[in-house]
Chains A and B, each alone.
Chain A
Amino acid sequence: MSGSSLELAALTKAYGSTVAVDAIDLKVPANTYCCLLGPSGCGKTSTLRLVAGHETATAGDIIIGPTNVTELPPAQRGTAMMFQSYALFPHLTSADNVAFSLKVRGVPKAERRASAMDMLGLVHMEPYAERLPAQLSGGQQQRVALARALITRPQILLLDEPLSALDPFLRIKVRAELKRLQKELGISFLHVTHSQDEAMALADLVVLMNGGRIEQAGTPREVFNAPRTAFVAQFMGGHNVIATGSGPIAVRADRVKLRRAGEPGRLSGTVRGIEYQGTHLQVTLASPDQSDLTALMNEAEFDAVPLKPGETLAVDWSEQDIHRLNA
């Protein structure tokens, strides 16, 4: 399998007067784990489906490797899609599901069976080759769906919220496997998710979308540490967006310092809630003329100056922790 780059140029999808994807431009280099991230209705799934060829673009181009695939049917694009509900054929065994695309291409039975078993081996599902999807657990169904998508040797694998149907424990395990598989295969994965944790853990390239546009694209560290807008800072979490005289700024919650009232501080805030989160404590403060502020403290810091709800404090941060946002 060889990786190809993906390029979207002014890609637009409109349903009547509603614009789902609004002239987005994006370059995904070959062999990249790219996460399309955003809240529901931001256009991330539409973008994925446009790349897959299950939606036709209203305007713009999709270029995979050297080829403009905008008008090509899904199977000729060098993409394969793993569906959110896995979409396994309920009347076919795991092996037949995986071999389906070879069957419709007229590959002889013995040959396609051997390829299917190879693919099932890749996802450690050979022992379940003869099971029907209904006889498999969610995680097992997902592996079969993955094998079915990979058997066409795609240059780009498209994953539509692949982890959303799994329980939290399995989710973390599977996402590590996805990352490993992507590196092993050396192809690009385009992964749609609404979870910023998932995107930060997996992605080489995070593309944060909002209202059909790309809000910011970059490595997880870039996007997290240098959010371009208030939306990005809020969506990625861990940031306080603070209105100042010279425009909005973002300050990471773990860089916020809390001091006793009367000590130097840039804002004052009243403690509204304290949550113990194991490795740290999260303090929520209400501040006049601002939305709620969050401060993260480690246990030792907190124990040195125990806080109580209702207490008014000075809220401070150092100059180098200020990150200016575009208004």
Chain B
Amino acid sequence: MSAVADRHVVADAEAKSASAKPSLFSRALPAWAQALPLALVFLVFFLVPLALTVMVSFWDYTEYSLVPAFTLRSYVEMFEGCYDKLPDLCVTLKTYLSTLKFCISVWLISLGVGFFIAYFLAFHVRTTTMQVALFLVCTVPFWTSNVIRTISWIPLLGRNGLVNSTLVKAGIINTPIEWLIFSDFSVIVALVHLYTLFMIVPIFNSMMRIDRALLEAARDSGASGWQTIWNVVIPLSKPGIVIGSIFVITIVMGDFVTVGVMGGQQIASVGKVINTQMGALQFPPAAANSVILLVAVLFIIAALTKLVDIRKEL
């Protein structure tokens, strides 16, 4: 009897949900409409250009024209001789290695600096007003254009710049240090100066979610300051650390302006190569290079997201 009644109820419910379908659709419509503008922007300004880049990377080219085709020429030329020359590195691999070297240095330094600035802002600055004020100070590097900012390094780090002249006058060195500017050092300094903020913001955000009672609980259990940072703060800031790392790594991997100017146009980077090829109107190789760079960056991001479930944190 009750089974029959149940079946009846189920059938009833099915009939109801069938008749409810149009209303469900009309309820979903506003939601789709709300998502539409961003989806369109995403499509037109991201997916379409990306598809075009991939397409062009397979085209053929001459000195003065692009030839629509499907050829692997650009990819083959990019890695030409890479295998034969081993253990010596071909130009492409050298460029990638150099870019990766900058990327890792800048990532490590900005992670170290960014973590402790975020830690200071989150746990030592007590008032929100002061936090906001100090955050604004962190954004100072972005208050001026890239060109002016980069040029401003010259009076500071140049051969006769502030640092060198101070060191000479103080008698610490006799002749100015040459590697302060137009060197790997200056590229790293400029990149760290710029992108540490991208590390600070997500890490700070993660840290602000940490219940202050946890730090007291750690202290109550006898943990020292460093033990608290290592055992409590770092594990709970991991999502921010990963998000910040993704920001910094993707930006630095593709950078060519800072590397160009601060490296005195003498240092190779993947972005710089793409930029040069574009300047020479060699679009297919530039596109192929971009695709390879994109794949490399995606691998790095995939590895990072293995460390933490970012969706859970957003």
B-contact 0/1 string along A86-100, CB 8 Å cutoff = 011111000000001
Q: Mark B195-224, 1 if CB is under 8 A from A, else 0.
A: 000000000000000010110111111111
Q: Which of B216, B222, B227, B236 contacts A90 (CB 8 A)?
A: B236
Q: Write out the residue numbers on chain A whose beta carbons fall within 8 Å of the beta carbon of B219.
A: 54, 73-75
A87-B214 contact given A100-B231, A103-B231, A104-B231, CB 8 Å threshold: yes
Chain A residues lying within 8 Å of B216, measured Cβ to Cβ, are 54, 81, 83, 87
Query: A54 and B220 in contact (CB under 8 A), knowing A83-B213, A87-B213, A91-B236?
Result: yes
| Bound-state Cα–Cα, A203 to B282, Å | 85
Query: B279 contacts which chain A residues (CB < 8 A)?
Result: none
B3 nearest CB across to chain A (Å): 36
Smallest CB gap from B216: residue in A: A54
The number of residues on chain A lying at the interface, defined by a beta carbon within 8 Å of a beta carbon of chain B, is 24
Selected contact of B221 from candidates A53, A90, A91, A104, CB within 8 Å: A104
Query: Does chain A have a CB within 8 A of B109?
Result: no
Query: Does the CB pair B222–A89 fall under 8 Å?
Result: no
Would you call A85 an interface residue if the criterion is a C-beta within 8 Å of the partner chain's C-beta atoms?
yes
Encoded as 1 (CB less than 8 Å from any B CB) or 0, chain A from 114 to 130 comes to 00000000000000000
- Pick the most buried of B218, B222, B227: most chain A CB atoms within 10 A of its CB: B222
Q: Does B297 contact A (CB under 8 A)?
A: no
| Bound complex: CA A152 to CA B214 (Å) | 17
- B235: chain A residues at CB < 8 Å are 91
Asked if B232 is at the interface of the complex by the 8 Å CB criterion, the answer is yes
CB nearest neighbor in B for A148: B221
A52 touching B220, Cβ below 8 Å? yes
- Report the minimum CB–CB distance from B222 to chain A (whole Å): 3
User: Which residues of A sit under 8 angstroms from B232, Cβ to Cβ?
Assistant: 89
A173 within 8 A of B: no
A266: Cβ under 8 A from any B Cβ: no
Closest Cβ neighbor of A154 among chain B residues: B220
Residues of B with C-beta under 8 A to A54: 216, 219-220
- Asked if A249 lies at the interface with its beta carbon under 8 angstroms from chain B, I say no
Chain B contacts for A101, CB-based, 8 A = 221-223
Known: A83-B213, A87-B211. A75 touches B220 (CB 8 A): yes
**What mask results when residues 71 to 87 of chain A are scored 1 for a CB within 8 Å of chain B, else 0?**
00111000011011101
B220 lies within 8 A of A104 (CB): no
Given A89-B217, A91-B235, A103-B231, A152–B211 Cβ distance below 8 Å? no
Of all chain B residues, which has the CB nearest A103? B231
Closest to B219 in A: A74
- Complex Cα spacing A291 to B134, Å: 55
Contact across chains for B217 and A75 when beta carbons are under 8 A apart: no
Q: Verify if A105 is at the interface (C-beta below 8 Å from B).
A: yes
- By a beta-carbon cutoff of 8 Å, the part of chain B in contact with chain A is 211, 213-214, 216-224, 227, 231-232, 235-236
**What 5 pairs across the A-B complex have the smallest Cβ distances?**
A75-B222, A101-B221, A87-B213, A87-B217, A104-B223
17 CB contacts below 8 A, A to B, read A52-B220, A53-B220, A54-B216, A74-B219, A74-B222, A75-B219, A75-B220, A75-B222, A80-B220, A81-B216, A81-B217, A85-B213, A88-B217, A91-B236, A103-B231, A104-B227, A152-B221
